[in-house]
Amino acid sequence: MRTDDVRDLYDRTMREHARPDGPGVRVERAGPLVRQVGGPDDWNGVVWSDPGLDAEGADAAIRAQIEHCTALGHEEFEWKLHSHDRPANLGDRLRAAGFVPGPPETLLVAPVGAPALLSGAELPEGLVLRPVTDAAGVELMALAHERAFGTDAGRLRHQVLARLERAPDDFLALVVTAGGEPVSSARMELYPGTVFAGLWGGGTVAEWRGRGLYRALVAHRAAVAAERGYRFLQVDATDMSAPILARLGFTALGTTTPYVYRRAR
């Protein structure tokens, strides 16, 4: 498929007709928007806006979203803006309304059967890759995430535990250990009814980078996605991971930028 066709398919199935990304959350159509709403530890925000949205409609939709989410009591929520969304100055309008943009990421897609994806799964001697299936595994995964990214993994712990308890078949979490210590982790969201599987959270602690751990985690997840019948892998990639993924055959569909609104205290 051509890049434009894949992007259109992604917009239609993963954004306009989005499915909840975990237990206890719901997807709502609110006029020209599609949003996900859940608890305080879930991801809350706008996933899609109508491509016919004009300047006046955009401002009204932004105001309505702020009113809705603050009424729910959430401390923050996100508007996930894609580079091809309209109107062209939607990002400026979000900033004017109090949203703060985070670092942009590259939206990348690759066919699951690409040979480069399925190769390179070997880990250095002494390392062990295992699926996360219980609370002990979740703790190892969270520790690897905190050490790799330098951020608190409290929300990740909540989300992974909820998935394992209530929807384990649509989710895969992995951790790599060295001598029992967690050194890398990653997860994959499987979206039933679509052709896409999403790769999320791949990170390796600094002293273990450059040894193929990230690539091995991609290969393992690609093999599982292929076995489950998915056609494409999707990643919102940071500047660190995007070059690696491009070498593995991923194609850029554009960029995504998280615009976050935080409630005044």
Q: Which residues pair with 236 in a beta bridge?
A: 107
pLDDT of residue 265: 66
Q: Is-above-0.75 flag for pTM?
A: yes
Spatial contact of 224 and 79, defined as CB atoms under 8 Å apart: no
In the prediction, which pLDDT does 109 show? 97
SS (H, E, C) 55-67: HHHHHHHHHHHHH
Q: What is the pLDDT of residue 60?
A: 96
pLDDT of residue 257: 98
The pLDDT of residue 115: 86
CB 91 within 8 Å of CB 101: yes
Asked if residue 132 lies in contact with residue 233, where contact means CB atoms within 8 angstroms, the answer is no
3-state helix, strand, coil in the chain (%, to 5): 35, 30, 35
pLDDT score, position 48: 98
- The one-letter amino acid code at 46 reads V
Q: What is the pLDDT of residue 33?
A: 97
- Alpha carbon distance 265, 263 (integer Å): 6
Establish whether the linkage from the previous residue to 87 is cis, with ω within 30° of 0. yes
* CB neighbours of residue 10 within 10 Å: 21
Q: With CA atoms as reference, report the closest residue to 187 among 154, 144, 151, 243.
A: 144
Residue written as tokens 């703790």?
139
Number of H helices, E strands in the chain: 8, 12
Six-digit token string for 221: 């997840």
Question: What pLDDT tens digit does each residue of the chain (265 aa) get?
Answer: 699 999 999 999 999 999 998 888 999 999 999 999 998 888 999 999 999 999 999 999 999 999 998 898 888 999 999 999 999 999 999 999 999 999 999 999 999 988 888 776 789 999 999 999 999 999 999 999 999 999 999 999 999 999 999 989 999 999 999 999 999 999 999 999 999 999 999 999 999 999 999 999 999 999 999 999 999 999 999 998 999 999 999 999 999 999 999 987 6
Q: What angle do CA 42, 162, 152 make, to 5 degrees?
A: 55
